[in-house]
Amino acid sequence: MLKYEIEGGTLPVVICYPEAGQTLCTESGAMSWMSSNMKMDTNTGGGIQKVFGRLFSGESIFMNEYTAEGGAGMIAFASSFPGSIIPYQVTETNGIIVQKRGFLAMEKGLDLSMYFQKKIGKGLFGGEGFIMQKICGNGLVFIEIDGYCKEYDLGVGESIIVDTGYLAAMSESCTMDIQTVKGAKNMFFGGEGLFHTRITGPGKVYIQSMPVINTAQALSPYLNINSNNNSDGGINIRLGD
């Protein structure tokens, strides 16, 4: 059983304490700090299919493996955006489906792959995209959540309606579909778009309070990005009026 602790509040980091010989996997560049007895090995994590699968699902081509040598080790992985880090125990019968770029780190032996939305409508209008990430096998995985994470445990046939971009992850046992917003006034003047995502149990659903794309859109009117006036080729970002 992997020992870990999550610290940092809204700027979280998960600190793991692997036993000797225990290995953790993460995307390239995700490690924040570690003890000196952690050995790093960079590889593609599988064949060409897995490489392109990670690329299209928002991860880097290469995977890093960190193994504790000569005794217990310590390694930390920090979130790339203010929010939450959640642990999820993956089993052979229940994997997890995660938003693009949601994967942070996992025990070796788990499998990270693409998850396609089988129906075109889900990808076009559900707000979660055609491609998500699927993690299966047997072990512990850590997921990045944008903002505060609210967890629901849905029963068989129980559903929850989620607005575009707010679905962070769900158990593999859950199903996802789209639902049209009813009423012309609601569609065009309600500010919630034309479609919502319906998640149906059984299983866990993880909802995020601050999707990174929504945050970027909210800040864009106040930012003036100018790349022409910087002599060293950098980008100047100035608050607007």
DSSP 185-230: HHHHHSSS-SEEEEEESSEEEEEESS-HHHHHHHHGGGEEEE-SS-
Q: pLDDT tens-digit profile of 208-239?
A: 999 887 788 778 787 765 545 555 555 555 55
Q: Is residue 224 part of a domain?
A: no
Q: Is residue 129 part of a domain?
A: yes
Residue 196 confidence (pLDDT) above 60: yes
Task: Give the span between the Cα atoms of 12 and 5, in whole angstroms.
Answer: 10
Domain of residue 151: give its range: 3-219
Task: Give the span between the Cα atoms of 237 and 227, in whole angstroms.
Answer: 9
Task: Give the span between the Cα atoms of 95 and 2, in whole angstroms.
Answer: 18
Residue 188 confidence (pLDDT) above 50: no
The pLDDT value recorded for residue 165 is 85
Q: Confidence band (pLDDT; 50, 70, 90) for 121?
A: very low
Based on C-alpha coordinates, what's the Rg of the chain? 20
The pLDDT value recorded for residue 74 is 98
Q: Is residue 226 part of a domain?
A: no
The pLDDT value recorded for residue 95 is 95
The pTM is what? Answer: 0.79
Q: Confidence band (pLDDT; 50, 70, 90) for 113?
A: confident
Task: Give the span between the Cα atoms of 109 and 72, in whole angstroms.
Answer: 19
Determine the 3-state secondary structure of 24 from DSSP.
strand
Q: Is residue 233 part of a domain?
A: no
Q: pLDDT tens-digit profile of 15-63?
A: 999 999 999 999 878 899 999 999 999 987 655 555 555 555 555 667 8
Total domains present in the chain: 1
* Percent of the chain residues past pLDDT 90, beyond the cut: 53
Q: Confidence band (pLDDT; 50, 70, 90) for 123?
A: very low
Q: Is residue 241 part of a domain?
A: no
More confident residue, 140 or 61: 140
**The two structure tokens encoding residue 32:** 């924040």
Residue 129 confidence (pLDDT) above 60: no
Q: CATH number of the domain that 62 lies in?
A: 3.60.160.10
Q: Is residue 12 part of a domain?
A: yes
Residue 164 confidence (pLDDT) above 50: yes
Q: Confidence band (pLDDT; 50, 70, 90) for 72?
A: very high
The pLDDT value recorded for residue 122 is 47
Angstrom distances, CA of residue 227 to CA of 205, 224, 230, 232, 236: 41, 10, 6, 10, 6
* Number of C-beta neighbours around residue 78 at 10 A: 18
- Ranked by mean pLDDT, which of 31-45, 67-81, 183-197 comes out on top? 67-81
Q: Is residue 119 part of a domain?
A: yes
Q: For 89-106, what is the mean pLDDT?
A: 92
Type of residue numbered 56: F
Angstrom distances, CA of residue 144 to CA of 31, 49, 83, 99, 229: 14, 24, 7, 9, 36
Q: Confidence band (pLDDT; 50, 70, 90) for 2?
A: very high
Q: Is residue 236 part of a domain?
A: no
